[in-house]
Chain A
Amino acid sequence: MVLEMRSQENSLLKISDLRVDYKSYWYFYHVLNGISLNLKQGEKVGLIGESGSGKTTLLKSILGILPPQGKIVSGDIIFRGINLTKTNNNILKEIRRKSIGMIFQDPLSALNPVFTIKEQLFEILKWSSEYKKQLNEESLKEAAYKLLTEVSLPEPDRILESYPFQLSGGMRQRVMIAMALASARELLLADEPTTNLDVTIQDQILKLINNLINEKKLSLILVSHALGMISKMTDRTYVIYGGDIMEEAPTKKLFKEPLHPYTKLLIESVPRLYGKGIGEGIKGNPPDYRNPPTGCRFHLRCPFASEICRKKKPELISIENRKVSCHLYTEN
């Protein structure tokens, strides 16, 4: 164990060859198709890709909170030398309580509609606290006030007594962030934290998250389709399509000089205020996970697809300090 930890010294989270299936009554959906991801201590990593590419599933797998129909088929998720897919339940719960926190995509559906914010936040604080046995109503309240102030929510008393539906979208997202912060002492997973907000509030929330992770020295995995946000906030970015990593590169480099055809199309399809106007978009739909395409999962929509793309899944190869999974490229 000690040896293992030393060898991983710099690495906070290492995911290798992760496969996740969802099961419906009739079908298996092979969603994550062998994802590998690496996160160093203090690093901020972005995850981009269109809807339905498996980004949220990846985040939920890290915490082991897939819905009942989802299942990790194979692969390792190693956090601080502990393999989360194989460790016992108590250790996993401790990590969920005190190390990793997650901001869910839609705060309205991620807050229980029939309990007040107070009931939910206190429950979370109770379990994430270091001194669980000494906790009383007063100290919980103090901790809750502190969190709500950190996320710049005024009138904490009113917020605590409210039910989720009584708050505005921005307030709900701040409550959501406060909850995530209660548990995130090392790693924050943010699943499209601004998608459900209007533009002015998006910017505030973004700044808030940025300040908080800098202040608390948290590592970050940020999922978003908002590429602007990714480029502002992250050091390194993974491009994910159809449950596969397509490309990985330092964020600046990725946006300046994308290698993978999918990344190129994705960046081109972002609408711009000036210049070309609305981009082309990428023709076609995300793959059918019941029966995913053979070879490269992107080949059906790829303008450069050739015979080999249909047959063989490309390896993730290194080019300088970046990686790409495409048959157009060969290792150095």
Chain B
Amino acid sequence: MRIDNIINNFIIRRIFSSIFVLFGLSILIFVLARLLPGDPARLALGPRAPEEVVEQYRKMLHLDQPIYIQYVYWLYDVFHLSLGQSLVTFRDVLVDIEDFLPASMELVLFSAMILVIGALSLGVLSGKRPGSIADNLMRIFSYIGISIPAFVWAIILQLIFSYWLGIFPAIGRISDNITPPPKVTGFIMIDSLISGNIYAFIDAVEHLVLPALALAIGPIAQEARILRANLVETIGKDYILNLRSHGIPDNTIYFKYALKPSMIPVVTIMGLDIASLIANAFLVELIFNWPGLSRYGINAMLRKDLNAIVGVTLVVGLIFIIANLIVDMIIYKIDPRVRNIKSE
């Protein structure tokens, strides 16, 4: 009972502090976006729009006011569930994000799944017998994996698996000849299961594999390496030798008593890497013509779409905060030492 209380308090505390982080981030991004050179109203309306119209548009966006007044207007909108009008789509930024985010999230979550499974199994496999063939292959893979960025992987995978081998589709979320399921969550995988359309489900998964893999390879290599290093260090520690001195089976020792302490640093980095997937997804989405947040975000940057820049950044920030929260909760669960500090 007491432990539950502590967890609840801990989570509530974290959520509370997260609100402040988001608030600070919004101020920072809001100011930065407006400090960039260039006139957003002029960019939005084009070079041929008459000056009066541009002026009027500027007034509508409150761009003629001091920056802190602009921020107050923006904050007022936020409390009325609006992130302001996009200067590109002329719709509310929140509506735009609702449209584009699910595709990105589906990609990122699928990629995160591959990442977790891949990193853990490679790390464990390679740490089991340091210096073995499997270990050496993994280490070569991890050097390559870390040194090649995600968008290059995207092109390589596309080249091999769709142009040469033709196993997976090269672009898009779903094939043209398949009717997309009615939108419920915006995740085609889930929506197709809800509507019982198994063909759409398989097709959606096939479309996901390459971009998700392209995103996951780098982090997989990175974390498999860290996990391996931790495992190798841990199995030389006295608390493992102590268990060995009692004749406990090697696999029990490795998969239970060595893996758990070795996981702690990996979980932290994994959380950050998973959150970074959304940012890395920008280029990968372009390559795979994935209708996600990326094109929207990039257009926002290029065309100085103030509200969209702030909106997209806040979404990315929010994802980081949630990822950190989850990481903290997992570590809280597996590391009793952290639990002790927090409960004091």
Contact = CB atoms under 8 A, between A and B. Distances in A.
B246 A127 contact: yes
Task: Say what secondary structure dominates the interface of chain B.
Answer: helix
Given A112-B257, A165-B340, A124 B239 contact: no
A124 B243 CA distance: 7
Interface of B: 130, 232, 235-249, 252, 257, 260-261, 264, 334-337, 340
Given A104-B242, A112-B257, 13 more contacts: A93-B247, A102-B242, A106-B238, A110-B238, A110-B239, A112-B239, A113-B336, A114-B334, A114-B335, A114-B336, A123-B257, A124-B243, A179-B246
28 contacts: A63-B245, A65-B244, A67-B236, A68-B130, A93-B247, A96-B246, A101-B246, A104-B242, A105-B238, A106-B238, A110-B238, A110-B241, A110-B242, A111-B242, A112-B243, A112-B257, A112-B261, A113-B336, A114-B260, A114-B264, A114-B337, A123-B246, A124-B246, A127-B248, A127-B249, A128-B246, A165-B336, A183-B245
Contacts of B252: 123
B262 to A, nearest CB: 10
B235 to A, nearest CB: 6
Contacts of B335: 114
B239 A183 contact: no
A94 interface: yes
B73 to A, nearest CB: 51
A94 B249 CA distance: 11
A94 to B, nearest CB: 7
A111 B340 CA distance: 17
Interface in A170-197: 179, 182-183
Contacts of B130: 68
B24 to A, nearest CB: 34
Contacts of A141: none
A108 to B, nearest CB: 9
A109 B239 contact: yes
B1 to A, nearest CB: 15
Given A68-B232, A123-B243, A128-B246, A113 B238 contact: no
Interface of A: 60, 63, 65, 67-69, 92-98, 100-102, 104-106, 109-116, 120, 123-124, 127-128, 163, 165-166, 179, 182-183
B241 A60 contact: yes
A218 to B, nearest CB: 15
B236 A69 contact: yes
Contacts of A94: 247
B246 A113 contact: no
B260 A95 contact: no
Contacts of B260: 114-115
A286 to B, nearest CB: 21
B247 to A, nearest CB: 3
A65 B245 contact: yes
B243 A101 contact: no
A36 B244 CA distance: 24
